[in-house]
Amino acid sequence: MKSFEAIAFIVIIIAASLISYNIGASKTSQGVYVISASLYAPVLTETLKEMNVSGSVVSMGSVAAAQNVLLTPSKYALFLSVDPAVIEDLLYPKNVSSWYIALASDQMVIGVSSYSPEFDQIKQLNASLYSAIVSGNISSEKIYLSEILKIVLSNDSKLGTSNPNTDPEGYRALMMLQLSSMFVNNNRSYYVNDLQRLNISGRVTEVPMGSALFAYLQSGEIYYDIALYRSSAVSHRIPFIILPPQVNLGSANFSAFYSKAEVTITSGGQKVDLHGAPIYLSLTIPNTYPNGQLASSIALFLISPQGKKLLESYGVKPLSTAVFYGNPDDAPQPLRSFINSSVLAYE
């Protein structure tokens, strides 16, 4: 009963926020701006549509998006990132934000083009790897993952990845290869060296954001996207190789092992060291955004049952209860009122 009342109260608060926003909407022709990781920009577009709020969604890789927020923090009502580390490591130090909400989980997979010469072989190995994962046969997981990566990283392969300095998918690809190297070979650089060798030989296509690789896979210009989000593969109907939970960055049970992966990126001219961690789709509201009530209403929609259903439709797995991390005093009202409740846990 308490949970039902909390959800009902969210609906009331959202409605009130929208009414107050719509009254003043005629004062601006542009509406609200939100910024998002490119893969999940459609989620925010649909959110604004469902809420009947006029506005624009700016879409790019999460690291590049964070840099845009740093340049004009009062412009954006909400920032949706595929990695909370981007918020913690880039926005926190500049006092642009001091909190975030984890909405949903995801995991890395390897995208496969139907034009890959080894497509049938990969399909069979993938089925065997999946069976090993389901049965918990770690020895078999290592064997089949090794066979798959041997093909994917062969001298004749054509790979795609995104720039680690602009897109988390790019540095997570490197983390996945580091974890796979440790999992299979007890050597963190084994598969990363293979990727570097292929890059030197001109067989790696790098793009600013991972969504740009979809067309390359569909045309056969690349055979494999070395690591993309499972939600993206599902929503865009891209064949993919499942990965063991020890290396897919998708299981909280392996947080300690994930943290052994480390990638250094350059952001805003500065070096930033990032460590592997479970993937969470996360949001924050820049602390200088002038309309906290409006920004809160968007955030509350995304943690509501309707918002979770929307997230599910894009292939991600909403957390049963969204989780608030950081300083609750800096969150705007009415969002702050729901922290540490049945609909928004506090960590």
Task: Delineate the domains of the chain, giving CATH numbers in brackets.
Answer: 2-105+279-346 (3.40.190.10), 108-267 (3.40.190.10)
What pLDDT score does 209 carry?
Answer: 84
d(CA 206, CA 302): 32
Helix (H, G, I), strand (E, B) or coil at 42: helix
Identify the pLDDT of residue 268: 79
Beta strands in the chain (DSSP E): 32-37, 55-60, 76-81, 99-105, 108-112, 159-162, 204-207, 224-229, 240-241, 262-267, 270-275, 280-284, 317-326, 344-346
Tens of pLDDT, residue by residue, the chain (347 residues): 344 444 444 444 444 343 333 323 333 335 899 999 888 899 999 999 999 999 999 999 899 999 999 999 999 999 999 899 999 999 999 999 999 999 999 999 999 999 999 999 999 999 999 999 999 999 999 999 999 999 999 999 999 999 999 889 999 999 999 999 999 999 999 999 999 999 999 999 999 988 899 999 999 999 999 999 998 899 889 999 999 999 999 999 999 999 999 999 998 788 989 999 999 999 999 999 999 999 999 999 999 999 999 999 988 899 999 999 999 999 999 999 999 999 999 98
Strand order in the sheet with 159-162: 204-207, 159-162, 224-229, 108-112, 240-241
pLDDT value of position 132: 98
Three-class SS state of 249: coil
CB atoms within 10 A of CB 112: 24
Q: Look at the chain and count its residues.
A: 347
Nearest to 227 by CA among 254, 202, 192, 183: 192
In this predicted structure, what is the pLDDT of residue 30? 55
Residue 19 CB partners (closer than 8 Å, separation 6+): none
Tokens of 294: 């409006």
What φ, ψ does residue 136 adopt, rounded to 5°?
75, 25
A 10 A CB-CB count for 333 gives 12
Q: Label the pairing between strands 262-267 and 270-275.
A: antiparallel
Q: Looking at the whole model, is its pTM more than 0.85?
A: no
